[in-house]
Amino acid sequence: MSRTCILTDSTALFTKANFAGQEHVTILPHFIQVNDQRLQDRKDLTIYSSSSRFTQSPVTIPPSVDTFRNAYASLGVKYKEIVVILLSSHLSQALANAQLASQSSNSPANIFIIDSLNTAIGLGLLVQAAAELAHRGYTGVEINRLVRGLINHIYSVFCLPDLSHLYRSGQIDPAQAIVGEMLGVIPFFTLENGRLVHTQKIRSPRHLVDIMYEFVAEFENLKYLALLQGITTYEQESRNLRDRISQNVRTTPLCEHSLSLALATILGPHSIGLVVMENLPKEG
């Protein structure tokens, strides 16, 4: 029996197609309820095309308690320990469902549950690190400790213009959404301790580029830098940001990733964001 496996959710985005320990990673999908269909999470955002008509607004549905319970039972046959790393508990019910499932699970494996306080590439970086540690034979206790230490070295910011999506996913109250959309407000958020915190308003496309570049420029020793986008609304701004970063940031290249459908439904399909991971001091 192998020692440790990693369980995560479908909002995780990975920096490479193949990574050490990948064979020990299991991904549970979110689903999207749209009209009368339930779609499994994917990269295709065409449900948000201009021709789409919704009888009800799309909603992201996390893996259920039963789904986690079944995963624990199945993985417990092959592994002694299961390290569960999920998107921020402030963005989805997935972590709460994982905890409920662990309380009633009859899996023989020891289960460690980690709130990543992240999502997308931030979550994926943590899962990749955990998978590599599992591949190298680290125990669940050691992986749990080391991954929790990495969380403090990942930072994310987002421009989220789809206020109605933020309201439906519980990120802002309805009054904020209604007033903000009436006034054409484009808010900018920082992901702090797993919670979206509104920090300022975007005044213009140029302002968006400026504040995203200023965010990157704060870091002197980057390990990874990623641009995240849903439907490409800010194409020119993305190009300008790429150019400015490539000219001024020498520590790491800017990588680009697309939001999954589940996360685009939570944050809004026109979201754009940046995720950075610092080198740990000993790696510098």
Tokens of 113: 């549950």
For the chain, domain boundaries? 2-151, 154-283
Kindly report, residue by residue over 204-237, the tens digit of the pLDDT: 878 999 999 999 999 988 999 999 999 877 888 8
Q: Given this model, what pLDDT does residue 162 score?
A: 76
pLDDT at 283: 47
Q: Which CATH class is domain 2-151?
A: alpha beta
233 vs 89 pLDDT, higher one? 89
Q: What pLDDT, on the 0 to 100 scale, is given for residue 202?
A: 85
pLDDT of the residue at 26 = 98
pLDDT at position 179, please? 60
Identify the CATH assignment for 154-283 out of 3.40.50.1820, 3.30.1180.10, 3.40.50.720, 3.30.390.30.
3.30.1180.10
Residue listed under structure tokens 């968006």: 208
Q: Give yes or no for residue 15 having a pLDDT over 70.
A: yes
Query: Cα separation of 48 and 259, whole Å?
Result: 13
CA atoms within 13 A on the CB side of 216: 26
pLDDT of residue 249: 85
pLDDT of residue 284: 41
Q: Which residues, in sequence order, are CB contacts of 184 under 8 Å at separation 6+?
A: none
Using only C-alpha atoms, the chain has a radius of gyration, in whole angstroms, of: 19
